[in-house]
C-alpha cells in the first residue's frame, strides 16, 4: 500500500490529487477503479437479495405444504395466518428475482464492474474518457437501485407481472396489486438504469476507440476488451428501445393512451382503449431483451477467454475467430428477438424467419466452444478458482446453448415455450454462465483491485459447491420442462398433468438453497481478504496483459510514470524458445530474439515508431515483474 | 428456547469453521505453499473434474433411462407426433455434442493439469480445424432449420373449411368456450357488449351467432380438424394443452388461432395409461395474475359419432338466455328463433 501511494504522490499528471477527501475518493469518485468496486459491491448486495428471493420461492415450489410462518418477520402480511405464501407475492418474488439478477447483478455488477476496472488498465489509459460521466453512471445505477429497493416494501407489493412486465397485465392496476405503485416504481427505476447503462456504454466505447496506448491496435486487444467493447455497442443500440417501450407503457398507465391496450373488459367494465397492441410491447421489449442476454454473456466470455489462456499457459486458440464470432453474435443478437414470441400470435411467416436467424447464432457460439476446448488441449493447466469457474462457464455454456437449439426451433418451441425447459435453458446460459464469468473475474482480478489475494482453499470449496449445485438445480429442470410443467406457477396441485415430480421439485429446492448458502463462503472470503488477505505480488498469475505492469495497488492515473507501449498481442504464452512461459504485451520483439517468428522479427524495425522512451520504461517494469516470483 | 439453542449452535459451527480456516492459513504460510505455482490442490481439483464428469453422466443416464415414463408425456394430436419427432431428433444430435464436448472439456482439464516438466503447446490457430467446426454445425443446423420450417408451415397453415370452430376466451382466471353450433360458425363479438352473462360479448346482430353455444369442458372430436379461435378479454393468457403439444397466446384486441387434430379419445388415453381417472387438461401458460396457476379446463376427446350426439344435445346461448332476444334486430328475429331452437 505504502509504496503504491508514494507512486501516486510522485505522479505529476494529476493536478486534482490534492483535493481528494473521503467523499471524492470513495463516494463521488471519478476514478474508474473505485467506480468498478462500487459497481461490484452494489452488485453483490443485489445478488444476495435476488438469490434470497429465489430461495424463498423455491421453498414454495419444493414444499408447497410447508408452514412458512417463520418467514413472517421478514415478509409480514405476505405470509397468511395458515403460513402460506401469498400467490401474488410469489409472482412478485419471481419478477423481482428476474429483474434484479438480469439488470442489477449481471448487467451492472458484471459489465459495470469489469468494463470499468479493466478497460483503462488493459488498454493503457489513465482513466475513462470521461470520469465524470462514469461517476454519473454509477450514481444513476445507485438511484435506480434505491427506487427498486423501496418498491419491495410497498403495501401493494413490487411489480409482479414477470420480469418482462407484459401489458396489459402490467398496465392495469385492476389486474393485480403489483401493477399499481410497484409497477410505477419499476418503470422509474428502469429509466434511471437505462441512463446509467448509456452513460457507461458510451464511455466504454469512446475510451476503447480513443485512449489505447501506443502500439495497441484493435487486433492486439485482449479478448476481454473486445467483449466489453461489443457489449457496450449492443447496450447503446438496444437500451434506448427499452426506454421507448417503458415510456409508452408509462403513457398507457398514466395518460390514457392506447399503445398497448385494446378491447379490454376488466373489473366489470369495458375500457375505452382500442387500437393498441400488446404485441408491440413484446417487440420493443425483446429488441432489448434478447441483446440483453449477450450484454450479460459477452463480458463473461471475454473474461474467461483471458483466464483460460493465462491458466492453460497457452495462447487462446483462434484469436481472430473468437473476435469474429463475437462480432457475429453482436450483429445477430439484434435480429433474433422474435424467437421469444413464436406463440404470441406473431405472423407465422415472421416466426420462420426468426427461427432461421436464431439457429445461425449457434454457429459462432459453437466456434467459441471448440476454441476454448482447443485452448485447453495440451496446455499446462493451473486450477486457480478463477480457472475452475471459467471451465465451468464453458460447461454451462455448452449445456445451455444446446437447449437453445430446441427452443429456437419454432415447431419444437410450441410445446416447450414458458415451461421449465426454458427456465433451465436461460438459467444455464444466461444466469450460471454469466455468474461464473463474474465470479471468475473477481477471483482473477481481486489482487489488482485490493492488492491482496483471495483464499484459494475457500475458493475451491465455493467452486465445487456452486458448480455441482448449479447442475443439481438446473439439470433436473429440463425433465420437469419436457414433462410440460409451466413456469411462474405458484402451485401445481390443480392439475393431474402436473401432479408428478413432487420429489424432484423438492430436490431442486434443497439444491438451490444449499447453493445459495454456499455463496456466503465467497462473501466471507471476499470481505475478509480485502482487509486480511495475503498480500498480492505484482503479477500473481504470470499474465501478459497491461494491468499487471501497474503498481500492486495502482493509484489515480494507473501508472506512476509513462504508460507502457504495446508491441505484441496478449497471448504469448509458452512461446517456443522463450525463457519464461509468458511474454507480457509491453515487451518489444527486439528483446526476445530467441522466440520471435519471422514476421515478428520484421516488426522490430517499426518499434522505434511506437516510442523510443518506452523501451527503458519497459525494462523497469520487467524488473518489477521479476520480483513477483 | 429451541430458537436460542439453534442460534447458539450456528454460531458455534461458524466459530469452529473460522478456527479451522485460520489454522489452514497458518499451515500454508509455514509450508510456504503460497509461493509455489501450484499446490497439491491442483491434482485434487483435476481428479475432481474427472469424477464430476463420470458421476454426472452416470446420474444423467440413470435418470433419463429409468424415469423415462415420468418425464415423457404421451402425445394425442397429429402435429404433436411431428414436433415430438423433431424434438427427439434434436435431442440425439445435441445429446451427442453434449457428451463429446464434455468429455473433451473435463478430460483435457484432467489430462493436461499442471506438470512442472511439461511446456504447453504454442498453438494459436489452425484454419482447417476452424473451417471444419464452423462448417459442420452450419450443415447440421441447416437440416434442423429446414425440418423445423416444414413442420411449422404445416402447423400454422390455414385450417380446413369444415374444421370445428371453437372460440376460447381467456379471462382472469378461467376459460370460457363458445362453439359455432350447427352452422359451425362462431358469431361476431364486441367487447363492449360483455357483461356477467354475455361473457364473450356476443353481438346478436350477427346471424351466425344465433346457434352458438357454451360448454363447460372443451369437447372435441377425434380425427377431425378443430380450429381454436383464441381471445382474451383482460390481460394476456395462453392456451396450453400439454398432451396435444398445443400452445398459443390469447391477446386482448388481437384474435389468434391454432388448429389441431386429436388422435386419441379420452377413453383410449385412459386405457393406454391404465388410469380411468385420467383427463386431458388445458392450462394457462402466460402469467396473468394471482390465479394464473388455477386456470384449469377439462378437455374431452370423443369419437366423431359421440361428438355429434353431444353437440346435438347442446342448448344455444340464446335458448338458455332468452332475455338477449331483445338485442336481436327485428328483421332477423324469426331466424334467431329458428336457429337458436329457443322454442324447443
DSSP A23: I
CA distances B322 to B15, B117, B331, Å, are 78, 94, 17
The answer to whether residue B125 is domain-embedded is no
B301 with B169, same domain?
Answer: yes
Cell of A531: 482487509
User: Is it the case that residue A292 has pLDDT exceeding 70?
Assistant: yes
pLDDT in tens, A230-260: 999 999 999 999 999 999 999 999 999 999 9
Q: Could you tell me the fold of the domain covering A2-532? A: Cytochrome C Oxidase; Chain A (1.20.210)
B239 with B173, same domain?
Answer: yes
Quick check: ipTM above 0.90?
yes
Note whether B134 contacts A367, CB cutoff 8 Å.
yes
Instruction: Count A/B contacts: CB-CB distance under 8 Å.
Output: 334
Note whether A411 contacts B148, CB cutoff 8 Å.
yes
How many whole angstroms from its chain centre is CA A606?
A: 39
Q: What is the mean pLDDT of residues A277-296?
A: 95
How sure is the predictor about A604, in pLDDT bands with cuts at 50, 70 and 90?
Answer: confident
How sure is the predictor about A629, in pLDDT bands with cuts at 50, 70 and 90?
Answer: very low
Residue of A nearest to B293 (CA): A489
pLDDT of residue B51: 97
CA distance, residue A263 to nearest chain B CA (Å) = 5
- Is A388 at the interface with chain B, CB within 8 A? yes
pLDDT of residue A616: 43
Residues of chain B contacting A344 with CB distance shorter than 8 Å: 249, 251
Q: Which of residues 256-315 of A touch B (CB under 8 A)?
A: 261-266, 268, 270, 274-279, 312-315
pLDDT in tens, B270-318: 999 999 999 999 999 999 999 999 999 999 999 999 999 999 999 999 9
B25 with B107, same domain?
Answer: no
Residues of chain B contacting A339 with CB distance shorter than 8 Å: none
B205 with B230, same domain?
Answer: yes
B224 with B179, same domain?
Answer: yes
Q: Report the Cα–Cα distance between both ends of chain B, in Å, rounded.
A: 74
The answer to whether residue B85 is domain-embedded is no
User: Is it the case that residue A13 has pLDDT exceeding 60?
Assistant: no
pLDDT of residue B269: 96
Region of poorest pLDDT, from A59-63, A180-184, A497-501: A497-501
Q: Mean pLDDT score of chain A, rounded to an integer? A: 91
User: Is it the case that residue A10 has pLDDT exceeding 90?
Assistant: no
Note whether A166 contacts B201, CB cutoff 8 Å.
no
Please compute, for residue A402, the number of CA atoms within 13 A of its CA located in the half-sphere on the CB side. 23
Q: Which of residues 342-381 of A touch B (CB under 8 A)?
A: 343-345, 348, 351-352, 355-356, 359-360, 362-363, 366-367, 369-374, 376-381
Note whether B149 contacts A176, CB cutoff 8 Å.
no
What pTM was estimated for this model as a whole?
0.93
pLDDT in tens, B118-163: 889 999 989 999 999 899 999 999 999 999 999 999 999 999 999 9
Work out how many domains chain B is built from and give that number.
3
How sure is the predictor about A615, in pLDDT bands with cuts at 50, 70 and 90?
Answer: very low
The answer to whether residue B330 is domain-embedded is yes
Q: Which of residues 41-100 of A touch B (CB under 8 A)?
A: 87-88, 91
Residue of B nearest to A277 (CA): B253
Note whether B253 contacts A277, CB cutoff 8 Å.
yes
Note whether B253 contacts A87, CB cutoff 8 Å.
no
- Peptide bond connecting A175 to the previous residue in cis, omega within 30 degrees of 0: no
For chain A, give every domain's residue range. Answer: 2-532, 546-627
Q: What is the mean pLDDT of residues A600-606?
A: 86
CA distance, residue B299 to nearest chain A CA (Å) = 12
How sure is the predictor about B35, in pLDDT bands with cuts at 50, 70 and 90?
Answer: low
Nearest to B247 among A169, A343, A348 (CB): A343
Mutation target vs A (from B50, B106, B152, B250; most A CBs, 10 A cutoff) = B152
The rounded distance, in Å, linking the Cα atoms of A401 and A366 is: 9
pLDDT of residue A427: 97
Which domain range does residue B67 map to? 37-78+97-114
pLDDT of residue A623: 37
DSSP A101: I
B276 with B310, same domain?
Answer: yes
- Is A456 at the interface with chain B, CB within 8 A? yes
B106 with B206, same domain?
Answer: no
User: Is it the case that residue A53 has pLDDT exceeding 70?
Assistant: yes
CA distance, residue B333 to nearest chain A CA (Å) = 27
Please compute, for residue A248, the number of CA atoms within 13 A of its CA located in the half-sphere on the CB side. 22
Residue of B nearest to A482 (CA): B71
CA distances B96 to A361, A395, B93, Å, are 19, 14, 5
pLDDT of residue A127: 95
Residue of A nearest to B124 (CA): A317
B290 with B207, same domain?
Answer: yes
B320 with B177, same domain?
Answer: yes
B27 with B17, same domain?
Answer: yes
pLDDT in tens, A458-509: 999 999 999 999 999 999 999 999 999 999 999 999 999 898 899 999 999 9
pLDDT of residue B20: 84
pLDDT in tens, B210-248: 999 999 999 999 999 999 999 999 999 999 999 999 999
How sure is the predictor about A617, in pLDDT bands with cuts at 50, 70 and 90?
Answer: very low
pLDDT of residue B34: 62
Write the DSSP string, B152-181.
HHHHHSPPPTTPEEEEEEEETTEEEEEE-T
How sure is the predictor about A611, in pLDDT bands with cuts at 50, 70 and 90?
Answer: low
The rounded distance, in Å, linking the Cα atoms of A438 and A117 is: 13
Q: Mean pLDDT score of chain B, rounded to an integer? A: 92
Note whether B90 contacts A479, CB cutoff 8 Å.
no
CA distance, residue B181 to nearest chain A CA (Å) = 25
- Is A411 at the interface with chain B, CB within 8 A? yes
Q: Read off the CATH number of the domain in which B233 is found.
A: 2.60.40.420
Residues of chain B contacting A399 with CB distance shorter than 8 Å: 98
The answer to whether residue B17 is domain-embedded is yes
User: Is it the case that residue A614 has pLDDT exceeding 70?
Assistant: no
pLDDT of residue B61: 96
Residues of chain A contacting B105 with CB distance shorter than 8 Å: 372-373, 376, 391, 394-395, 398
The answer to whether residue B224 is domain-embedded is yes
How sure is the predictor about A606, in pLDDT bands with cuts at 50, 70 and 90?
Answer: confident
pLDDT of residue A24: 78
B207 with B332, same domain?
Answer: yes
Note whether B287 contacts A91, CB cutoff 8 Å.
yes
Nearest to A575 among B105, B122, B138 (CB): B122
The rounded distance, in Å, linking the Cα atoms of A18 and A41 is: 27
Residues of chain B contacting A542 with CB distance shorter than 8 Å: 37
pLDDT of residue A11: 43
The rounded distance, in Å, linking the Cα atoms of A176 and B34 is: 57
B308 with B192, same domain?
Answer: yes
Residue of B nearest to A460 (CA): B45
Write the DSSP string, A272-310.
S--S--HHHHHHHHHHHHHHHHHHHHHHHHHHHHHHHHH
pLDDT in tens, A399-427: 999 999 999 999 999 999 999 999 999 99
The residues with which B220 forms a beta bridge, in sequence order, are B301
Region of poorest pLDDT, from A40-44, A373-377, A390-394, A619-623: A619-623
Residues of chain B contacting A91 with CB distance shorter than 8 Å: 287, 289-290, 292
Amino acid at each position: 500500500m505504502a509504496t503504491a501511494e508514494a507512486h501516486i504522490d510522485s505522479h505529476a499528471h494529476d493536478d486534482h490529487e490534492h483535493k481528494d477527501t473521503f467523499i471524492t475518493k470513495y463516494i463521488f469518485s471519478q476514478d474508474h477503479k473505485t467506480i468498478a468496486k462500487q459497481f461490484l459491491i452494489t452488485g453483490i448486495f443485489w445478488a444476495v437479495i435476488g438469490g434470497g428471493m429465489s430461495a424463498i420461492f423455491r421453498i414454495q415450489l419444493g414444499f408447497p405444504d410447508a408452514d412458512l410462518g417463520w418467514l413472517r418477520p421478514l415478509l409480514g402480511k405476505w405470509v397468511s395466518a395458515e403460513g402460506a405464501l401469498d400467490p401474488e407475492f410469489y409472482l412478485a418474488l419471481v419478477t423481482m428475482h428476474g429483474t434484479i439478477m438480469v439488470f442489477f447483478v449481471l448487467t451492472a455488477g458484471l459489465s459495470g464492474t469489469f468494463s470499468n476496472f479493466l478497460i483503462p488498465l488493459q488498454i493503457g489509459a489513465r482513466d475513462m474518457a470521461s470520469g465524470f460521466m462514469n461517476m454519473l453512471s454509477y450514481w444513476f445505477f445507485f438511484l435506480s437501485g434505491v427506487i427498486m429497493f423501496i418498491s419491495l416494501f410497498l403495501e401493494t407489493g413490487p411489480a409482479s407481472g414477470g420480469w418482462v412486465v407484459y401489458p396489459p397485465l402490467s398496465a392495469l392496476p385492476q389486474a393485480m396489486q403489483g401493477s399499481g405503485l410497484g409497477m410505477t416504481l419499476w418503470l422509474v427505476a428502469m429509466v434511471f438504469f437505462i441512463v446509467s447503462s448509456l452513460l457507461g456504454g458510451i464511455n466504454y466505447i469512446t475510451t476503447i476507440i480513443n485512449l489505447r496506448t501506443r502500439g495497441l491496435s484493435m487486433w492486439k486487444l485482449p479478448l476481454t476488451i473486445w467483449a466489453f467493447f461489443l457489449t457496450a455497442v449492443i447496450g447503446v443500440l438496444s437500451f434506448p428501445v427499452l426506454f421507448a417501450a417503458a415510456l409508452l407503457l408509462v403513457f398507457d398507465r398514466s395518460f390514457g393512451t392506447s399503445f398497448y391496450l385494446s378491447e379490454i373488459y376488466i373489473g366489470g367494465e369495458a375500457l375505452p382503449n382500442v387500437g393498441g397492441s400488446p404485441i408491440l410491447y413484446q417487440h420493443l421489449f425483446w429488441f432489448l431483451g434478447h441483446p440483453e442476454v449477450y450484454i450479460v454473456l459477452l463480458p463473461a466470455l471475454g473474461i474467461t477467454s483471458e483466464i483460460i489462456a493465462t491458466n492453460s499457459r497457452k495462447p487462446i486458440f483462434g484469436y481472430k475467430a473468437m473476435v469474429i464470432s463475437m462480432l457475429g453474435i453482436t450483429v445477430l443478437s439484434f435480429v433474433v428477438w422474435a424467437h421469444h414470441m413464436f406463440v404470441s400470435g406473431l405472423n407465422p411467416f415472421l416466426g420462420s424467419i426468426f427461427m432461421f436467424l436464431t439457429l445461425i447464432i449457434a454457429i459462432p457460439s459453437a466456434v467459441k466452444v471448440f476454441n476454448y476446448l482447443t485452448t485447453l488441449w495440451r496446455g499446462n493447466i493451473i486450477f486457480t478458482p478463477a480457472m475452475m469457474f471459467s471451465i465451468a462457464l464453458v460447461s454451462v455454456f455448452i449445456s445451455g446453448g444446446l437447449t437453445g437449439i430446441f427452443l429456437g426451433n419454432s415447431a419444437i418451441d410450441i410445446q416447450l415455450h414458458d415451461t421449465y425447459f426454458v427456465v433451465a435453458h436461460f438459467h444455464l446460459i444466461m444466469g450460471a454462465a454469466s455468474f461464473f464469468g463474474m465470479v471468475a473475474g473477481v477471483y482473477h482480478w481481486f489482487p489488482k483491485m485490493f492488492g491482496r489475494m483471495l483464499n484459494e482453499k475457500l475458493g475451491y470449496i465455493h467452486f465445487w459447491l456452486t458448480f455441482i449445485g448449479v447442475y443439481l438445480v438446473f439439470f433436473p429442470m429440463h425433465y420437469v420442462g419436457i414433462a410440460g410443467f409451466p413456469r411462474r406457477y405458484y402451485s401445481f396441485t390443480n392439475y393431474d398433468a402436473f401432479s408428478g415430480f413432487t420429489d424432484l421439485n423438492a430436490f431442486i429446492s434443497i439444491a438451490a438453497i444449499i447453493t445459495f448458502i454456499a455463496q456466503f463462503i465467497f462473501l466471507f472470503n471476499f470481505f475478509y481478504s480485502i482487509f486480511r488477505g495475503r498480500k498480492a505480488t505484482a503479477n500473481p498469475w504470470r499474465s501478459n496483459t497491461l494491468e499487471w505492469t501497474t503498481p500492486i495497488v495502482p493509484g489515480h492515473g494507473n501508472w506512476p510514470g509513462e504508460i507502457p507501449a504495446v508491441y505484441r498481442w496478449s497471448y504469448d504464452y509458452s512461446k517456443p524458445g522463450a525463457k519464461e512461459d509468458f511474454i507480457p504485451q509491453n515487451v518489444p520483439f527486439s528483446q526476445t530474439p530467441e522466440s520471435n517468428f519471422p514476421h515478428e522479427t520484421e516488426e522490430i524495425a517499426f518499434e522505434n515508431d511506437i516510442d523510443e522512451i518506452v523501451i527503458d520504461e519497459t525494462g523497469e517494469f520487467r524488473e518489477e515483474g521479476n520480483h513477483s516470483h | 428456547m429451541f430458537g436460542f439453542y439453534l442460534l447458539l449452535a450456528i454460531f458455534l459451527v461458524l466459530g469452529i469453521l473460522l478456527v479451522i480456516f485460520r489454522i489452514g492459513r497458518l499451515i500454508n504460510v509455514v509450508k510456504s505453499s503460497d509461493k509455489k505455482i501450484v499446490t497439491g490442490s491442483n491434482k485434487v481439483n483435476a481428479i475432481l473434474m474427472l469424477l464430476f464428469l463420470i458421476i454426472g453422466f452416470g446420474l444423467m443416464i440413470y435418470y433419463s433411462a429409468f424415469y423415462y415414463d415420468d418425464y415423457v408425456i404421451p402425445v394425442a394430436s397429429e402435429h404433436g407426433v411431428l414436433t415430438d419427432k423433431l424434438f427427439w431428433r434434436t435431442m440425439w444430435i445435441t445429446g451427442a455434442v453434449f457428451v463429446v464436448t464434455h468429455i473433451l472439456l473435463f478430460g483435457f482439464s484432467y489430462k493436461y493439469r499442471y506438470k512442472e516438466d511439461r511446456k504447453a503447446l504454442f498453438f494459436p490457430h489452425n484454419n482447417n480445424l476452424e473451417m471444419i467446426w464452423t462448417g459442420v454445425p452450419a450443415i447440421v443446423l441447416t437440416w434442423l432449420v429446414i425440418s423445423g420450417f416444414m413442420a411449422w408451415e404445416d402447423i400454422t397453415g390455414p385450417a380446413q373449411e369444415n374444421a370445428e370452430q371453437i372460440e376460447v376466451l381467456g379471462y382472469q382466471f378461467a376459460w370460457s368456450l363458445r362453439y359455432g353450433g350447427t352452422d359451425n360458425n362462431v358469431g361476431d363479438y364486441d367487447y363492449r357488449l360483455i357483461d356477467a352473462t354475455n361473457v364473450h360479448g356476443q353481438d346478436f346482430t350477427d346471424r351466425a351467432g344465433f346457434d352458438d353455444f357454451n360448454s363447460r369442458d372443451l369437447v372435441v372430436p377425434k380425427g377431425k380438424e378443430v380450429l381454436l379461435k383464441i381471445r382474451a378479454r383482460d390481460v394476456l393468457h395462453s392456451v396450453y394443452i400439454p398432451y396435444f403439444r398445443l400452445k398459443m397466446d390469447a391477446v386482448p384486441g388481437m384474435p389468434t388461432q391454432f388448429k389441431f387434430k386429436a388422435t386419441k379419445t379420452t377413453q383410449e388415453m385412459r386405457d393406454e395409461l391404465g388410469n380411468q381417472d385420467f383427463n386431458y387438461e388445458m392450462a394457462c401458460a402466460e402469467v396473468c395474475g394471482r390465479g394464473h396457476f388455477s386456470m384449469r379446463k377439462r378437455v374431452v376427446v370423443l369419437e366423431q359419432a359421440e361428438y355429434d350426439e353431444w353437440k346435438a344435445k347442446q342448448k344455444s346461448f340464446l335458448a338458455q338466455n332468452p332475455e338477449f332476444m331483445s338485442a336481436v334486430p327485428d328483421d332477423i328475429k324469426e331466424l334467431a328463433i329458428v336457429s337458436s331452437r329457443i322454442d324447443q
